[in-house]
Amino acid sequence: MILEILSIIGILLSVYAFYVEKKTLKSKEYKAVCDINDAISCSKAFSSKYGHTLGISNSVYGFFFYIVVILLAFYSQMNYVFYLSILSLIFSVYLAYNLYFKLKDFCLVCTGIYIVNILILIFSIW
């Protein structure tokens, strides 16, 4: 049950990330709730070159990842959840490095997603 709850949180964060990304692209005047200042900005992260992989928003990948985790957990396929969560953690570490060290930004939504991914890995082991 905890994996499903974490996945729902991940879905909500991914949907919000996608929403902010699209609103930011449409209007330069839009200011997201997670944009606190120049150093703490989620829209800066979402609109960067690291916000997309193979031309698709990372939030879309995240959304589908969390749906798959819910389905796999529902069918008690914990081995698959574990292996997928390892992949998501590797990708999260890559994105976190780019966010914190290359962009020199702190994204509240991104950090929340990283934490959710870590917790999914931990709970998939149990």
Query: What phi and psi values does residue 27 have, to the nearest 5 degrees?
Result: -140, 120
Q: What is the mean pLDDT of residues 76-82?
A: 94
Global pTM reads: 0.91
CATH code assigned at 39: 1.20.1440.130
Contact (Cβ atoms closer than 8 angstroms) between residue 114 and residue 106 = no
pLDDT the model gives residue 67: 98
Domain residues for the domain of 73 are: 2-125
H or E element, residue 57: strand 56-57
Q: In the predicted model, is pLDDT for residue 62 greater than 90?
A: yes
Please tell me the distance from the alpha carbon of residue 91 to that of residue 66, in angstroms, as a whole number. Answer: 14
Please tell me the distance from the alpha carbon of residue 55 to that of residue 49, in angstroms, as a whole number. Answer: 10
Q: pLDDT digits over 3-52, tens only?
A: 999 999 999 999 999 999 998 878 878 888 888 998 899 988 888 899 99
Q: Is the dihedral of CA 8, 96, 17, 69 positive or negative?
A: negative
Name the domain count of the chain.
1
Average pLDDT value over all residues in the chain: 93
Please tell me the distance from the alpha carbon of residue 71 to that of residue 5, in angstroms, as a whole number. Answer: 12
